[in-house]
Every structure is written in structure tokens, then in C-alpha cells.
Amino acid sequence: MSRPVPKPGILDIAPYTPGKSGSEQPGRVFKLSANETPLGPSPRAIAAYKAAAAHLEDYPEGTSRVLREAIGRKFGLDPDRIVCGAGSDEILNFLAHVYLGPGDEAIHTTHGFLVYPIATMGHGATNVVAAENNLVADVDAILKAVTPRTKLVWLANPNNPTGTYLPFDEVKRLHAGLPPHVLLVLDAAYADYVSRNDYESGIELVATTENTVMTRTFSKIYGLAALRIGWMYGPEHIVDAVNRIRGPFNVSNAAMAAGVAAIEDNEHYEMSRAHTERWRSWLTDEIGKLGLEVTPSVANFILIHFPHDKGRTADDADAFLTGRGLILRALKNYQLPHALRLTIGTEEANRLVVEALGEFMRRA
């Protein structure tokens, strides 16, 4: 029987699989699997979203101008060098569409974001994996993986799901080692949570080079994951190329209105940063006291490593926690079968996780 057949390589792609979002057990459920903010969005963003409902008959302005201008004001950037999308995932796919094709290669690190190989392979290019060093991106390994076919390097900084990061000096060393025709994509989705003095999100490198872009999101610290808003800052020639394939109405009016309100509410932003920093440190210390290794994180989540012994594994812990309404992220599809990722939650959720893990370790 004849039927449409996907182009070569599509069926070789492992589809993105999100973490669990609920439990079959009765009672309250704390979803700590998706790196969502426990504080929710700014009240101003909610009000702006509701106000947009009065004009659902109108198409959005096609370039996300008001949102690009608000981003420009926040970060001191030229709005004409910003592209907005339906989440940063859409922009990552735009970049793959523009710069990758059959015969090309794109590099990401071992535990890089799952969208990178999907975007790469979805446009016919070959996915190349560079080894990490103790769960941290390794500049030398990335540069060693570069070949004449390399067209793009994906770097999540900070990285999801490890929570680790590269200092700016190392990012600059990576860029300096790349051929000028290779595009360096700095995915800074979690940049808002980093307080290290040696970190830079990528704005400086984009401003001073022709082959670097930075992507950001409104899904994390701004609490607008349901609205799907992301953005890219890049050189004029890359912005021009991406805009040629971008759909004209890819960001809705409601999303733009909420995004502008969110980025202008600095009080809510700083409250979210402070909450994350306080509880990230507390969780790292308290879970470490239970005898579990925690990878030091600069993001709004931590990576917890479990023993390989029967009854004490990550799978065992995941089942135990899920049964108590605590939903963490299993990471087998990230090649981390012995770890769980825990999103920083409310004070109540954070304390319940530590209490439950303590019970699990005593029983195991």
C-alpha cells in the first residue's frame, strides 16, 4: 500500500519526551519536573493578558515590535537585532532551518538540551556529541569535534539538566577557536538565575562578532511558559535571514502584552531571583546531608544523583516521591539514568521533598 513517507532521517529522531506532570495517588501534587517558577507570573502580566481578550479578533503586529522594544529597553539592545518566537524552541528551529542541511554537522554536549538534536536532524544535518568534563561543557572537546562540515555549535549556558555553566572567558575561548563560518548559539534560558561574577549571558559576544547569537525565554523567571515566548539577539545578517522564514504572526497579542508587562515588573523579577537563590542553596545543603550527591547549580533546579544499589536507585526514588505527590524529572533520555532533576519549588514543596528523601534513604 502506497502512502506518504517522511524524508530520510525524520524517523531516526527520538521525539522530545517531557517529564511527568501528575501522580495517580490522591491528594496534593507538587510538580517539580519542568523548571517552572513557583511564584507564578507578575500580576501585571496577568492583567495585561486578560485585557488582550477584548481584541481577540485582531491579528498580532507581525514583528512583535512592542515586545522587542521592551526587551531592548531592559537590556540596552537594538530592537532591530531581536527576533521573537513562540518560545526559544521555535527560534532554535529557525536557526537550524536557516543554517543546517544534508551534509552539515552541528555540535552539542553530552547532556545538552534535547531540542538540539531534534532541530539538527529535522533539517537533515548530522548531530555530533562532544563529551563533557564532570557534567560541564568542555571547550577543548567541542573544538576537537569541529570538522569542515561543522556549521553550528549549540551551547546551553547554564545547561539544562545539569545546572552547570561555562565562565565567560571559556565561552570566548570557544568562540575564538571556531572557524568564522560556524554559528555559535548561546542558549541562555536560565541566565536570569545566575549570580556568578564570571558569567555573561552572551550579549557582549553577539555585539562584537558576526557568528554568535543568544536566545532567551519568558518561560522561566517570568512565569509565562503557557504563552510560549522566546527571543534571540543576533547580528543584523542573521536576524535578516531568520526573519525571512519566520511566520508573520508567530507571537500572539496576548503573549506580547503579558511579556511587556512581565519584563517591566522588576520587583517581581527580583523576588523570583531571591527565592531561587535562597532555596537552591538550602536544598543543595539539606539533600547533601542525606548522603546524596548534588551537582552545584546556578539555575532554578538541582541535579540529584542516586546510588546504583537495588532499592536506592533514581527509579526507586522517583516512584517513592511520585507516590507522595512529589513529581521530579527522570533523566534517562538525557543519558543520566541515575539522577533526578528537582525544580526549586515553594517553601512547602522544598521541605516536603527533603523530608521524603530522608524517609527514602532511611528505608532503602
**83-136: per-residue pLDDT in tens?**
999 999 999 999 999 999 999 999 999 999 999 999 999 999 999 999 999 999
Dist CA 34 CA 332 (whole Å): 15
| Bridge-based pairing state of the strands 150-156 and 329-330 | unpaired
* pLDDT tens digits, one per residue of 148-200: 999 999 999 999 999 999 999 999 999 999 999 999 999 999 999 999 999 99
Give the cell for residue 289. 546531608
Amino acid 24: pLDDT: 63
CATH number at 43-264: 3.40.640.10
CATH architecture of 18-40+267-363: Alpha-Beta Complex (3.90)
Task: With CA atoms as reference, report the closest residue to 298 among 218, 190, 221, 200.
Answer: 190
Domain ranges of the chain: 18-40+267-363, 43-264
Handedness of CA 231, 232, 236, 238 (dihedral sign): negative
**In which band, very low, low, confident or very high, does the pLDDT at 306 lie, cut at 50, 70 and 90?**
very high
pLDDT of 286 strictly over 70: yes
**Per residue in 188-225, pLDDT tens?**
999 999 999 999 999 999 999 999 999 999 999 999 99
What are the tens digits of pLDDT across the range 2-52?
Answer: 888 888 888 888 888 777 766 566 678 999 999 999 999 999 999 999 999
Q: What is the pLDDT of residue 4?
A: 84
Domains 18-40+267-363 and 43-264 share a fold: no
Strand-strand pairing, 326-327 and 30-31? parallel
pLDDT for residue 289 is more than 90: yes
